[in-house]
Amino acid sequence: MSIAQNPLLGPMKKSMGNFTVYTLNGMNIVRSKAFKIKDPKSKKQLNVRARITALGKEYRYLSPILSLGFPENSEHKSPQNMFVAANFSTAFELMDEVPVLRYPLMVIAKGSLPEVVVTDVAMDSQGITIGYDVSAMFTDITATDEIIACMMLKSYSLQIVRQILGFGTTGTVFLKFKDKEDEEVACCYVFVRSGDGTKTSNSVFVEVKE
């Protein structure tokens, strides 16, 4: 960018070639534009773009649960940035050199608490019941901590349940189908979040067999 102050030329505006000129505070401002925009498409760059695009799509639908799943070390970082960072390298499989997102590899929460152990899973026409065991984190949790479960249907409808753990280390959490509208489950996860909202466990993918 350059600034031109020439009484012979007076105020200037519009573009010519790769230059754009306008007047600001009595000065002529000249900006140059690139003649040719560089957009190389190497395999590595296409791989990166495919991963970013896939994770961006998932974020649009999962953002309500992702806002709960990444509280740790989040200063100056958005849930979206932390979700992408947590999954960029590990949530994909290569098929014909193209990265494909896999829900069992994806995490929707990442933190320092021990992971929940899923003991059993049952699905009927009403919803999904998940049995859990958090005894491995007994010394790390309190009665005010909560277990959070979510499922996303293939229609991208999202269901979230937040349940206080209390003093028990085992229990169940129920995810209810809404109006039996296309109960094809795309993915399901559980994790623990501390009562003060400062810590979580890594999310655990729940395999649902229809």
How many other C-beta atoms can be found within 10 angstroms of the C-beta atom of residue 82?
19
Q: Who's near 6: CB < 8 A, 6+ residues apart?
A: 28
The CATH architecture assigned to 117-205 reads Sandwich (2.60)
pLDDT at 155: 87
Domain boundaries, the chain: 43-105, 117-205
Q: What is the DSSP string of 99-138?
A: EEE-GGG--S---SBPPPEEEEEEE-SSEEEEEEE-GGGT
pLDDT at 150: 96
pLDDT at 64: 96
173 close to 161: Cβ distance less than 8 angstroms: yes
How many other C-beta atoms can be found within 10 angstroms of the C-beta atom of residue 192?
26
The DSSP symbol for 198 reads S
pTM of the model: 0.77
Token pair of 134, please? 């958090």
The H or E element containing residue 53 is: helix 43-69
Per-residue model confidence as pLDDT tens digits over 57-80: 999 999 999 999 999 988 889 999
Could you say which residues of the chain have pLDDT below 70? 1-19, 22-27, 32-40, 179-183, 210
Q: Which residue carries 């169940």 as its tokens?
A: 172
pLDDT at 117: 95
